[in-house]
Chain A
Amino acid sequence: MKRNYEKVKAYSASRNQKKLAIVFLTPWIIGFIAFNLYPIVTTFCYSFTKYNLFQAPQWVGLKNYFTLFTSHEFYLSLFNTLYYVIFGVGLQLILALATAILLNLNVKGKSIFRSIYFIPSLMPPVAASLLWVWLLNPKYGLINTFLRFLHLNEPLWLISAEWTKPAIILMSLWGIGSTMVIFLAGLGDIPHVYYEAVEIDGGGAWSKFKNVTWPMLSSITFFQLISGMIAGFNIFTQTYIISQAAADKSSLGGIKNSLLFFAVNIYQEGFSYLKFGYASALAWIMLLIILIFTLIIFKTSKKWVYYRGE
């Protein structure tokens, strides 16, 4: 009798939970349809049309995709974006991990150093970009003043096509604070006995990193790699500000289009030239490339990502 009563109670609890779940999830469902599903499907449809926002979209079939695959700008923006994602995001992760390891050492004043390393990542992208345009000023900027002091080569940075991308990567390294903090949390979770075991076996610092730190951090690294890559594909604000601050404001892609990234290209084709159909085709190709990259990372992750408890 009592067991039956509990069963009935559990049943009504789960029914009440379902009712509340429906109430709680309704906003998400509406939002998902309105702000995600509808736009993705619509972008896909627009990509087969000529559309300038003022007239109804006109069906043009695969024309946008043909134009895209024969366009010099498309390949250039793809190259620039991959350059930034591979070197920029790669360096960001390596440097964030290295600074996290440095901060995890047993030293005094750790929290002061942590704050100093972290604060730049709070800087609004617009303000950070403006600051770096000034820092990288070839004549009066801090960076070249410093290089001059060391009698080193002084690049022209944002006004020479070959230095713009390294410049923007340098800029991005300044804001690795939040990535570093996540690594730092992961390092704090590694049990000390693991390191002691390596010491007993006579292993040094490199052996500790290779056999303990790296495998224990691999699931965090994996997450950071995926989110870093997606953020890398989205790079926009920095280029926009740099090209606005440049003397020649004709293109959003910076000097000789050396900063024409994928997202910049989409914005320019859509909102500057009002070619929304073509911009939609670009957006879908960008989505596909991100998907392919994500899948590749997922596939290879089985080889290097280690989950505790496995």
Chain B
Amino acid sequence: MVISKKRKFLQYFLLCLVGAFFLFPFLWLLDTSLKNDAQIFKFPPDWIPNPVMFSNYKDALHAIPFLHYTGNTVKIVFFAVLGNLISAPMIGYAFAKLHWRGRNKVFILVLATMMLPFQVTMIPLYSMYVKLGWINTIAPLVVPDFFGKAFFIFLMRQFFLTIPEEMSQAARIDGASEFRIYWNICLPLAKPAVVSVGLFAFIWSWTDFLGPLIFLTQSDKWTISIGLSQFTTSHGLDWKLLMAGATMFMLPMIILFFIMQKTFIQGINTSGLKE
């Protein structure tokens, strides 16, 4: 099959054009974060910052209690990830590998909760947490994770379904208990899915905005998401510091992406309802 040079050129041209749309906002972010005000509001704009203002990053750390917010966020993320890593494999396994009556009907309920918007449940949850004294603590943002999130249960179930039943049968004949079959055979095989759950739980928790906005009203409890949004009010719009703050906020995710690129893509594919 001969593909003409013209066609090949057109393909690369399109790829680069679309690539520019995805890439340039990032370059603009970095660019702005390294400029001073005079350069930011210069017209027409220069692409290369001169002088390069690395000090913006240091200033952004002090303009809001950035490190304090980072600490708060890390604490929440840690427990949220831990909770999902414990609950999702267990519950997903019960829906994929353990036989009990009404299993598929109950699973529809799991899928239904995936479609339930947070806006519908947030008001009673808020008043429930008020009564429990959980407002301004990390509890509302991490406790539900220990009881299983629908999306992660779904992801784990799909993966467990791909493990052949013969594996468990063989272990059963050797006299292994049902729990041992889960713990020593199926769970190790499901490692890629477990890693995906951890990754997604990390991202969701790290970037969550509405949850912390509602449940954390005291400023010393805030996460970076909320902290960054406050940049817009308490400091006017200081674009250079904002962009430096935003860059630092997303850095952990970019690093994680480059380390675990394969897992990322696989995890998303698993969630794409492939049979």
Contacts and interface: CB of A to CB of B under 8 A. Distances in A.
Interface of A: 9, 13-14, 16-21, 24-25, 27-28, 30-32, 34-36, 38-40, 42-43, 46, 53, 99, 102-103, 105, 107, 113-120, 122-127, 130-132, 134-135, 139-140, 142, 145, 174, 177-178, 181-182, 185-186, 189, 219-220, 223-224, 226, 230, 233-234, 236-237, 240-241, 244-245, 249, 262-263, 266-267, 270-271, 276, 279-280, 283-284, 286-287, 290, 294, 308
Contacts of B105: none
Contact of A126 (B90, B119, B228): B228
A78 to B, nearest CB: 14
B25 A140 contact: no
> What are the 10 A-B residue pairs with the smallest beta carbon separation, nearest first?
A31-B147, A182-B272, A39-B121, A124-B207, A42-B124, A127-B246, A185-B269, A24-B94, A39-B124, A21-B98
Given A21-B98, A31-B87, A276-B127, 16 more contacts: A20-B178, A27-B91, A32-B109, A35-B121, A35-B125, A53-B126, A102-B11, A114-B265, A117-B18, A122-B257, A124-B250, A135-B28, A174-B22, A185-B265, A283-B120, A308-B275
A131 B244 CA distance: 11
A236 B265 CA distance: 26
Interface in B1-26: 8, 11-12, 14-15, 18-19, 21-26
Contact of B268 (A124, A178, A284): A178
Q: Is the interface of B mostly helix, strand, loop or mixed?
A: helix
A24 B119 contact: no
Interface string B75-116: 000000000000100110110001110000000011001011
A28 B44 CA distance: 58
Contacts of A27: 87, 90-91, 146-148
Contact size range, B: 35 or more
Contacts of A36: 113, 116, 121
A185 to B, nearest CB: 4
Contact of B120 (A18, A182, A284): A284
A263 to B, nearest CB: 5
A244 B274 contact: no
Contacts of A186: 272, 274
B60 interface: no
A14 B99 contact: yes
Q: Which of A116, A230, A284 has the most CB of B within 10 A?
A: A116
Nearest to B248: A127
Contact of A263 (B90, B119, B203, B229): B119
B167 interface: no
B124 A43 contact: yes
Contacts of B93: 24
A83 to B, nearest CB: 18
A220 B209 contact: no
A181 B117 CA distance: 24
A117 to B, nearest CB: 5
Given A131-B29, A244-B229, A276-B123, A124 B253 contact: yes
Contacts of A38: 124, 128
Interface string B161-198: 00000000000100001110010000000000000000
A122 B123 contact: no
Contacts of B98: 17-18, 20-21, 24
B32 interface: yes
